[in-house]
Copies of this chain bind each other. A is one copy, B any other.
Amino acid sequence: MTKNILVTNDDGVLAPGLLALAQEMRKLGTVTILAPDRNWSGGGHVKTLDRALRVREFHLDDGTQAFGGDGAPSDCVALATLGYFKEKFDLVVSGINVGANLGHDVTYSGTVTAAMEAVIAGLPGVAVSLEIPDGHVGPIDFGPSALAAGMAVRNVLQHGLPADTLLNVNVPFLKQDEIQGFRMTRQGLRVYHSRLDERVDPRGRPYYWIGGEAPTGVPESGTDVGALSDGFVSVTPLQLDLTAYRAVSEINTWNWHDPILSEVSLLRPSSVVAAEKQ
């Protein structure tokens, strides 16, 4: 039976990375596109509840019909899965993002949070991002990353994903025959070099840019950052359970019984119950 695949992204419905992804996905099933009508990078996991959302029709460079919503990538996934389309989807894939989503990036990334929203909707989610070298100018070849996305999505369509899990796929900026293959990885470490730039506007009022160099990564073995640095596509399963299980026992030894603040003594001394790991 043919599979229904929802394609979305973070860079906006007209971004060439989305078209490359949609064309690859068309080999695997019926493709529907609903993505932000503008660039939404760095926008996080958003649920727009305080205003209504609009959807407009677009046509991509190859004539493909697509829809653009005026919300975040996660809003687009919510719209699509809550009934904007008649179709029931089998999988949501988001990308191809211009720029890798590694380490702590995944908590900011619209590409990744679109896949999170899919998981919350009970669907498998795959996020695909292409590393872009610092200072790169000129056209981007999405060919190798589209093929990597095809491989990941074909696998997920065949095997499913464990509950509460999405795949975060990152592709190195290499020619197709230079890519070394795939590595299953864990989330690595980014080093952010953010800096605050204070400037003064023509009316003498200060304003602030979050600036600084692009983040770098710690190319540790076994991580997404390490895989890309070795020329591999990284495939990191991510979960939406953020519990730091290893921290529970330590925090449980702290004093939660005998309040130091006199006012808190009004909180009844009581049993502190340790979290049981699921």
Q: Which residues of B contact A243 (CB under 8 A)?
A: 186-187, 236-239
Cβ-based interface call for A35 (8 A): no
Contact A52 B209 (CB under 8 A): yes
Contact B208 A79 (CB under 8 A): yes
Contact A48 B44 (CB under 8 A): no
Q: Which residues of B contact A107 (CB under 8 A)?
A: 45, 113, 116, 240, 242
Q: How distant is A222 from chain B, measured CB to nearest CB, in Å?
A: 4
Cβ-based interface call for A137 (8 A): no
Count copies of this chain in the complex. 2
Q: Which residues of B contact A78 (CB under 8 A)?
A: 194, 196, 210
Q: Which of chain B's residues has its CB closest to A151's CB?
A: B264
Give the docked Cα–Cα distance between A37 and B227 (Å): 41
Give the docked Cα–Cα distance between A55 and B50 (Å): 24
Give the docked Cα–Cα distance between A194 and B74 (Å): 13
Give the docked Cα–Cα distance between A161 and B164 (Å): 26
Cβ-based interface call for A274 (8 A): yes
Contact A267 B179 (CB under 8 A): yes
Interface size on A, residues (CB 8 A): 112
From 47 to 93 in chain A, residues with beta carbon under 8 angstroms from any chain B beta carbon are 47-50, 52-55, 72, 74-75, 78-79, 82-84
Contact A113 B241 (CB under 8 A): no
- 25 CB contacts below 8 A, A to B, read A44-B72, A45-B45, A45-B108, A52-B209, A82-B195, A83-B195, A84-B208, A104-B120, A104-B240, A147-B263, A150-B261, A155-B254, A155-B256, A162-B244, A181-B256, A181-B272, A182-B270, A184-B251, A184-B256, A184-B275, A186-B278, A222-B275, A237-B244, A239-B242, A242-B242
Contact surface of A with B, Cβ cutoff 8 Å: 27, 39, 41-50, 52-55, 72, 74-75, 78-79, 82-84, 104, 106-108, 113, 116, 120, 144, 147-148, 150-151, 154-155, 158-159, 161-162, 164-165, 167, 176-177, 179-187, 192, 194-196, 199, 205-210, 221-223, 227, 232-233, 235-248, 250-252, 254-257, 259-261, 263-264, 266-278
